[in-house]
Amino acid sequence: MSRIELDELSACAPDGTAPVLHEISLAVEDGELLTVVGPSGSGKTTLLRALIGLADIPVGTLWLDGEDATDWAPAERDMAMVFQDHAPYPHLRVRDNLALPLRLAGLPAAEVAERVREVADRLQLTVHLDRWPNQLSGGQRQRLALGRVLARPRPAAYLLDEPLSADPELRGRLRAMIAGTTTVWVTPDIAEAAVIGDRVAVLRDGRLKQLGTPQDLAERPASLDVAALAPLTVLPGSIADGSLRLPIGTLPTDRPDRDPVLVGIRPADLRPDGDGVRLTLLAGDDGVEPDGTVRLRHPALARAAAENPAVSAEILARVDPAGRRAVPVVLDPARVLLFDPDTGAAL
């Protein structure tokens, strides 16, 4: 059990001397599951390597339960890590792969055997115990990598680098097995990050772009791809003289002039009535999603979507479309999200 805190921490990739992770400050509370999400090359793996003690940390401090652990050796940190490649020890049979961390921890042979038996049973590795790693499938290798970590007595923290990339079926079981232990879980999939994590850290280009609960991220996204976690309509627009012009109408705004700008509208904010600006959506073919979201194919959007991949070709709305070709909706101008069309950053 452990609280992890990073203070302005920079870290280097294995083959380089220049930091690829820049001044990260965040805390993972005791027992919390933090998911880390970002595109490839954003520094997710380097963050885990810094936490376990494999990465060079030229600047910054790592605190473990209030102690400065920046220079601690990996063995002193008592963290358990699943590597992205799920690579087993090639010279050891599955059984000994599972047992090695326990033997390193100095557990008595009887307990090692018992823990190996137990974890193999839970991960369906029992029939493979006497095999060599090169006889395993990708999914089996993934389970072996998880087993090597889960067989250990509760570590201070679990560090999981895309632990389920070979077989996502295990997600629920893995969550249950690590529940209650501080965990940092890296995933490239922002939807997965939001489903699994108590909180989500968004990395991009080695910097922490956003940190918050999945709800925070959905409400106040720091960038377009974070916003896309929840259903979102993205329209091209421009701001001039206090007006935000959109293909579906014009909204008042207090933002400075900008052209072009990407505008994100959540379907839940497009309501049939209430306070706000009245818009009329000239709907084409309607379709209703299982969650009640209506897809309105607005004629003005198809061309804009062809030009900008971020733009939605249709408007998602929570309205009653029954029997109508022109749908009146109400939108609170304060609820729209504005993004930079080039970087996707929130404005």
Task: Give the residue with the Cβ less far from another protein, 78 or 189.
Answer: 78
Task: Give the residue with the Cβ less far from another protein, 71 or 257.
Answer: 71
**What is d(CA 313, CA 297) in angstroms, rounded to the nearest whole number?**
7
CA distances from 167 to 119, 174, 194, 201, 216 (A): 18, 12, 19, 23, 29
Task: Give the residue with the Cβ less far from another protein, 143 or 152.
Answer: 152
Task: Give the residue with the Cβ less far from another protein, 140 or 233.
Answer: 140
Distance of closest approach, residue 206 Cβ to another protein, in angstroms? 20
Sequential DSSP letters for 178-200: HTTS-EEEEES-HHHHHHH-SEE
Distance of closest approach, residue 303 Cβ to another protein, in angstroms? 44
Q: Which residues of 106-130 are buried (b: 16+ CB within 10 A; e: fewer)?
A: ebeeeebeebbeebbebbebeebbe
Distance of closest approach, residue 188 Cβ to another protein, in angstroms? 17
Distance of closest approach, residue 133 Cβ to another protein, in angstroms? 5
Distance of closest approach, residue 102 Cβ to another protein, in angstroms? 9
Q: Are 182 and 29 in contact (CB under 8 A)?
A: yes
Angle ∠(228,191,226) on CA atoms, nearest 5? 35
**Cα-based torsion angle of the residue sequence 92, 81, 54, 78 in order, rounded to the nearest 10 degrees:** -100
Pairing mode, strands 249-252 and 243-246: antiparallel
**What is d(CA 59, CA 9) in angstroms, rounded to the nearest whole number?**
6
**What is d(CA 212, CA 346) in angstroms, rounded to the nearest whole number?**
15
Task: Give the residue with the Cβ less far from another protein, 186 or 263.
Answer: 186
Task: Give the residue with the Cβ less far from another protein, 86 or 209.
Answer: 86
3-class SS of residue 155: coil
What the block records as the tokens of 226 is 């974070």
Distance of closest approach, residue 1 Cβ to another protein, in angstroms? 17
Q: Are 38 and 222 in contact (CB under 8 A)?
A: no
Distance of closest approach, residue 155 Cβ to another protein, in angstroms? 9
Q: Backbone phi, then psi, for 58, in 5-degree steps?
A: -70, -30
Please give the residue ranges that form the binding site for another protein (CB under 8 A): 14, 52-54, 73-75, 78-81, 83, 85-93, 100-101, 104-105, 132-134, 141, 148, 152, 159
Distance of closest approach, residue 130 Cβ to another protein, in angstroms? 12
**What is d(CA 99, CA 85) in angstroms, rounded to the nearest whole number?**
19
3-class SS of residue 299: coil
Distance of closest approach, residue 175 Cβ to another protein, in angstroms? 21
Task: Give the residue with the Cβ less far from another protein, 75 or 191.
Answer: 75
**Angle of helix 138-150 relative to helix 94-104, nearest 10 degrees?**
20
Task: Give the residue with the Cβ less far from another protein, 92 or 232.
Answer: 92
Task: Give the residue with the Cβ less far from another protein, 84 or 126.
Answer: 84
